[in-house]
A and B are shown apart, each in its own frame.
Chain A
Amino acid sequence: MSNTSENPNPSSSSAKITLKTSDNELFEVEEAVAMKFCTVKQYFEDEKDNDVAARGSSTVIPLPNVHSAVLARLISYCKKLPQSNAVADNHEEEETKKKERKQYGTPGDLVDLISAANYLDFKEGLEFFNQALADHIQNKSVEYVRKFFGIKGDFEPHEEEKYREEYAWAFEGVDED
């Protein structure tokens, strides 16, 4: 469970890679997990080219744009990564996925996860968290979205009125919230 360097975890024989976050925390993660992050993979491969002896845990890969709290969540997401990110075939499956996405909580958390996944070039994660965020826009009223994400409307009342008139079809039939 733990992905810290303090955990000796002797049972695992796979190679480990150490990642260092913006707040100087060290994370020792399995190579398979770390390689999901293309940015890390690229760094790791460049490093290997530069110094053949540098392997696994002897290399510390700095991630200056990722905070430890966020990285911990990304790694834990990575570990329970679903088999495929394919579009859910049926309604039931979609509902399960939606529930799963709901666990990732506050808008601020999601934005952090998205920024980090984007920086790390972690495709599956980015898709997943983008969708989790989109869930809070889909079929929602403007008022809900503004409130949920803390967006301040900065249009003049008449400008907003005009937009709503122009695109009246888009503003019909949103969820009650």
Chain B
Amino acid sequence: MEEESNGSSERSSTSSEESAPYFPHQSTDNSSHGINSQEEEESSDDHRNKRRKHAPVSEEDRISTLPDSILLKILSSLCIKDAVVTGVLSKRWAFLWTSVPSLRFTHTYFISSVYYANAVDNVLLLHRALKLTNFSVQFQYMPDLKPRINLWVRFATTAKVDQPSLVEILYANEFVSELDFRLCKIKPTGLVRWSSLKRLCFGYVPLREDVVNKVLLGSPRIEFLKLHNCYQFNRLDIVSESLKKLVIDCYPAEPDLGDLELEIVAPKIESLEIIGDFFSMAKFQIKNASALVEVRVDFEIPMEYEDEEQEYHYKDCENVVRELFESLHQVKKFIVGKWCLMVLSIMSVKHLSPPL
């Protein structure tokens, strides 16, 4: 597409360009460019070289000429494993990664937790960026690792990291603005104090409702809460002056959990999303949600019963949907997903008055 624009005529006329002077020279406002002339010379050279070849594999190393600040940005978007690999590319890259402000350790490559922990220690020992913007570790927890994890948390919190993720003992921190816990247990023994926390996500975490309340109580600035595949709670009583948005994404099938009766009491929430599969949900009600402006209801209650039981089960689903929609009728902006829509349509076909 860019071929049509001004640059293309220039690009194709390589030969004439070789002889033509690169930089304005004839132009009247020469003076304004004077200061940068050296850089111009370099960049002009680069372009000339570039136009000689268009092979996908370069013979000339251009990337290494980029300044550290840009290379560090590029490395920041990689997980630490990929960043460490770049250390062997050439001497230019040797220890660049040790200054990268984002440390993301992913677990997929590791056979054992101890091996993984060694790798984390290895990196943290050499790391020398003054500020961390992101710190995340994912691994299989083993009790033996506890002292080392404590050290990692110390590392992350003393570096005033903005967005650490996971980690066990972080319940009192005044710098963190965003937390993301996955596949771990949340058991705050003392008080939770997250005085700067704005966004909080829990994924695949068993969460009792008293823990949710404790967390909300300790987070006076929280605006966003997401529960993804969390379980163990069956009633949420959201008491928070600051929370604006709540997302509940999936409620897993847990054999010993029994039916889920979800009740959300949330007087201050403006936006609510209920998405994904909710297994064995028997009741779902939103109460006292007077501030609610926007709701997205796009969930499904998966059916896995034999044929004869299915109709029976479906009736339950119908009741859940009816009750939920009845409790939400005052909301201005309503987005309804296809499963709920289906249930509502069947209701109206059956001449049951739909709740909307």
- Inter-subunit contact A150/B58 (CB<8 Å): yes
Please encode chain B, from 101 to 144, with 1 for each CB lying within 8 Å of some chain A CB and 0 for all others. Answer: 00000001110000110110010000000000000000000000
- The winner among B22, B89, B122 for most chain A CB atoms within 10 A is B89
Please encode chain A, from 1 to 25, with 1 for each CB lying within 8 Å of some chain B CB and 0 for all others. Answer: 1111000000000000000101111
Question: Residues of B contacting A154 with CB < 8 Å?
Answer: 90-91
Question: Residues of A contacting B27 with CB < 8 Å?
Answer: 20, 24
Question: When chains A and B are docked, how far (Å) is the Cα of A100 from the Cα of B33?
Answer: 35
Among B43, B55, B80, the residue within 8 A (CB) of A65 is B43
- Inter-subunit contact A65/B39 (CB<8 Å): yes
- Inter-subunit contact A109/B50 (CB<8 Å): yes
- The answer to whether the Cβ of B334 comes within 8 Å of any Cβ in the partner chain is no
Residue in chain A with minimal CB distance to B23: A22
Question: Residues of A contacting B78 with CB < 8 Å?
Answer: 134, 137-138
Question: When chains A and B are docked, how far (Å) is the Cα of A152 from the Cα of B81?
Answer: 21
Indicate whether A115 sits within 8 Å of B88 (C-beta atoms), given known contacts A73-B7, A76-B1.
no
Question: Residues of B contacting A149 with CB < 8 Å?
Answer: 58, 61-64
Residue in chain B with minimal CB distance to A150: B58
- The size bracket of the interface on A is 35 or more
Residue in chain B with minimal CB distance to A131: B77
- The answer to whether the Cβ of B57 comes within 8 Å of any Cβ in the partner chain is yes
- The answer to whether the Cβ of B56 comes within 8 Å of any Cβ in the partner chain is yes
* Interface 9-mer from B65-73, B170-178, B304-312: B65-73
- Inter-subunit contact B10/A25 (CB<8 Å): yes
- The size bracket of the interface on B is 35 or more
Question: Residues of A contacting B92 with CB < 8 Å?
Answer: 151
- Inter-subunit contact A150/B60 (CB<8 Å): yes
- Inter-subunit contact B62/A1 (CB<8 Å): no
- The answer to whether the Cβ of A39 comes within 8 Å of any Cβ in the partner chain is no
Residue in chain B with minimal CB distance to A167: B84
Among A1, A130, A150, A172, the residue within 8 A (CB) of B73 is A130
Question: When chains A and B are docked, how far (Å) is the Cα of A1 from the Cα of B6?
Answer: 10
- The answer to whether the Cβ of B59 comes within 8 Å of any Cβ in the partner chain is yes
Question: When chains A and B are docked, how far (Å) is the Cα of A125 from the Cα of B125?
Answer: 34
- Inter-subunit contact A70/B47 (CB<8 Å): yes
Question: When chains A and B are docked, how far (Å) is the Cα of A131 from the Cα of B49?
Answer: 24
- The answer to whether the Cβ of B256 comes within 8 Å of any Cβ in the partner chain is no
Question: When chains A and B are docked, how far (Å) is the Cα of A112 from the Cα of B42?
Answer: 12
- Inter-subunit contact A145/B87 (CB<8 Å): no
Among A60, A75, A139, A152, the residue within 8 A (CB) of B82 is A139
A137 to chain B minimum Cβ distance, whole angstroms, is 6
- The answer to whether the Cβ of A71 comes within 8 Å of any Cβ in the partner chain is yes
- Inter-subunit contact B2/A130 (CB<8 Å): no
- Inter-subunit contact B62/A107 (CB<8 Å): yes
- Inter-subunit contact B115/A76 (CB<8 Å): no
Question: When chains A and B are docked, how far (Å) is the Cα of A73 from the Cα of B240?
Answer: 48
Please encode chain B, from 6 to 46, with 1 for each CB lying within 8 Å of some chain A CB and 0 for all others. Answer: 11101100000100001110110100110011011001101
- The answer to whether the Cβ of A160 comes within 8 Å of any Cβ in the partner chain is yes
- The answer to whether the Cβ of B191 comes within 8 Å of any Cβ in the partner chain is no
Residue in chain A with minimal CB distance to B73: A130
Residue in chain B with minimal CB distance to A171: B85
- The answer to whether the Cβ of B74 comes within 8 Å of any Cβ in the partner chain is yes
**Those of A152-170 within 8 Å (CB) of chain B:** 152-155, 160, 163-164, 166-167, 169-170
- The answer to whether the Cβ of A54 comes within 8 Å of any Cβ in the partner chain is no
- Inter-subunit contact B82/A137 (CB<8 Å): yes
Question: Residues of A contacting B29 with CB < 8 Å?
Answer: 60, 62
Please encode chain A, from 131 to 149, with 1 for each CB lying within 8 Å of some chain B CB and 0 for all others. Answer: 1011001111010011111
**Those of A82-106 within 8 Å (CB) of chain B:** 105-106
- Inter-subunit contact A169/B109 (CB<8 Å): yes
- The answer to whether the Cβ of A67 comes within 8 Å of any Cβ in the partner chain is yes
Indicate whether A114 sits within 8 Å of B70 (C-beta atoms), given known contacts A169-B110, A174-B85.
yes
B285 to chain A minimum Cβ distance, whole angstroms, is 28
Residue in chain A with minimal CB distance to B55: A106
- The answer to whether the Cβ of B54 comes within 8 Å of any Cβ in the partner chain is yes
Residue in chain B with minimal CB distance to A126: B73
Indicate whether A65 sits within 8 Å of B40 (C-beta atoms), given known contacts A150-B58, A155-B91, A163-B88.
yes
Residue in chain A with minimal CB distance to B46: A112
* Contacts beyond the supplied A62-B32, A69-B7, A133-B63: 13 A-B pairs with Cβ under 8 Å: A60-B29, A65-B40, A69-B11, A73-B2, A107-B63, A112-B62, A130-B77, A133-B74, A134-B78, A150-B59, A151-B90, A160-B88, A169-B115
Binding site for A on B (CB under 8 A): 1-2, 4-8, 10-11, 17, 22-24, 26-27, 29, 32-33, 36-37, 39-40, 43-44, 46-47, 49-51, 53-66, 70, 73-75, 77-82, 84-93, 108-110, 115-116, 118-119, 122
20 example contacts (A-B, Cβ-Cβ < 8 A) are as follows A20-B24, A26-B6, A62-B33, A105-B54, A106-B54, A106-B58, A107-B58, A126-B70, A126-B73, A130-B73, A139-B82, A142-B89, A148-B58, A149-B61, A149-B62, A150-B62, A151-B61, A166-B122, A167-B84, A169-B119
